[in-house]
Amino acid sequence: MTLVLVTAAIAVGVDRSPRTVEAHAEPEPVAAAAAAPETAVRAAVVPAAPSKLRVFVASEGPYSGGTGEVWVLEGAASTGFALVKKIPQGGWPHNVSLSPDLKYVAVAQRSSNQVSVIDPIEMKEIARFPVGKVPHGITWSPDSKFIFTAHERDNFIGKTEVGTWKMTPLQVGAPQHVTVMNPAKPNELWFTITNSNQAYHLRLYDLETNKITNVNVADVHDVYFTPDFSEIWSSSSGFLDKPSDRMVVYDPEKRAVKQEIRFPGRYPFHAMKVNRDGQYFLPDKSIMLLSSHYSAAAGRDGSSILWVDWKARRIIDETPTGIQPFHMTYDPLGDRVLVTSNVDGMVNVIDVKTRKIVQKVAVPKAHGLVAVGLP
């Protein structure tokens, strides 16, 4: 079984030996499943004021101990969340992404090199299409017309047209890990570099000119905008056994590093992203939530969610979670945040007011998740 590798920063005195990304081994190949029948593009049936929330969670596997399905949970303002359905996938579902028009849930399948498309109302797969090797990051264009996939084993980003599900490769010259976009700048696709000895680990692809701008920074893992889109932040390392408390802040207009900060005793990893993690986000735009894979203050397992005042560059609170928290989504009905914890196989439901876990829903090897409102 081949390990998925990433190179560390290219600089004098930095260890350049390859290391495992997020402790994931590359799964054995799975035969590609035939694409499900395509459906006509329909209008979204999601109300502005929903009565229920539906959450789609990737259960990684079956190689990693998950079920290889997308688990669907539902909850209301006065109730907890419960399992309502499991949707089979083509191989190792990993990251999940909700289209801005709320019509589709896309799932990156690492082992079969495919993306699955789910109808969030019907709760069924409506399409499955091939992409590059080991798809990881998955982002929708702001107009919901395209899906962008980052590949950990290919030198192109996939740009797939919705409806036809035909992919156009955007050549970027190195494997990638994640992508992110500002809805107000639909021609700007930011991405991080992985599995390469090249420098410049954060880059910008201009979708109008096909030109790439390199940002002079090394050791980049995930990348995300602040809630007002005025800054970009990135976490470092990406290796579960090699924690890094380093965060880098960028000016997206100048395409340059703005500041480097540290969160001592923590290991910040992921944050919520527009065009990926769901329909709703925290109403308090002064707060950015970061999953942390290490925290001495978090007790036995050392994992937590960090409540960060991003303008002040400081942690204002911390919620201990299960081991290896990854992705998050927001529930406006109960003012709750849902976050996966991978090792113990849980979706943790956190009350925003108390910042305490109020429910745990078992989902084996839970990783990516998104939420959409229902009538």
Q: Which residues contact 184 (CB under 8 A, 6 or more apart)?
A: 142, 229
pLDDT, tens digit, 9 for 90 and up, residues 10-19? 222 223 222 2
Residue 11 within a domain: no
In a domain, 343, yes or no: no
pLDDT of residue 300: 59
Mean pLDDT (whole number) for 231-244:
92
Pick from 277, 272, 176: nearest CA to 226: 272
Give the tokens for residue 27: 């799964």
CATH number for the domain including 96? 2.130.10.10
Give the residue-averaged pLDDT of 78-99.
94
Average pLDDT over residues 155-168: 98
Tell me the residue length of the chain. 375
Q: Report the alpha-carbon distance of residue 194 to residue 135 in Å, rounded.
A: 12
pLDDT in tens, 330-373: 999 999 999 999 999 999 999 999 999 999 999 999 999 999 99
Question: Is residue 49, in this structure, part of any structural domain at all?
Answer: yes
52 found inside a domain: yes
Residue 307 in any domain: the answer is no
Q: What's the domain range around 122?
A: 45-289
The 10s digit of each residue's pLDDT in 75-86 is: 999 899 999 999
Please say if the pLDDT value at position 36 is more than 60.
Answer: no
Number of domains into which the chain is organized: 1
What is the DSSP track for 6-27?
E----STTS----EEEEEEEPP
Q: How far apart are CA 312 and CA 318, in angstroms?
A: 16
In-domain check, residue 172: yes
Per DSSP, 298 falls in state: G
Q: Is residue 113 part of a domain?
A: yes
Contacts for 316 with CB less than 8 Å, ≥ 6 apart = 287, 307, 308, 309
Q: Is residue 201 predicted with pLDDT exceeding 60?
A: yes
For residue 7, pLDDT beyond 70:
no
The answer to whether position 157 is within a domain reads: yes
pTM of the model: 0.87
231-252 burial, b at 16+ Cβ within 10 Å, e below that, comes to bbbbbbbbbbeebbbbbbbbeb
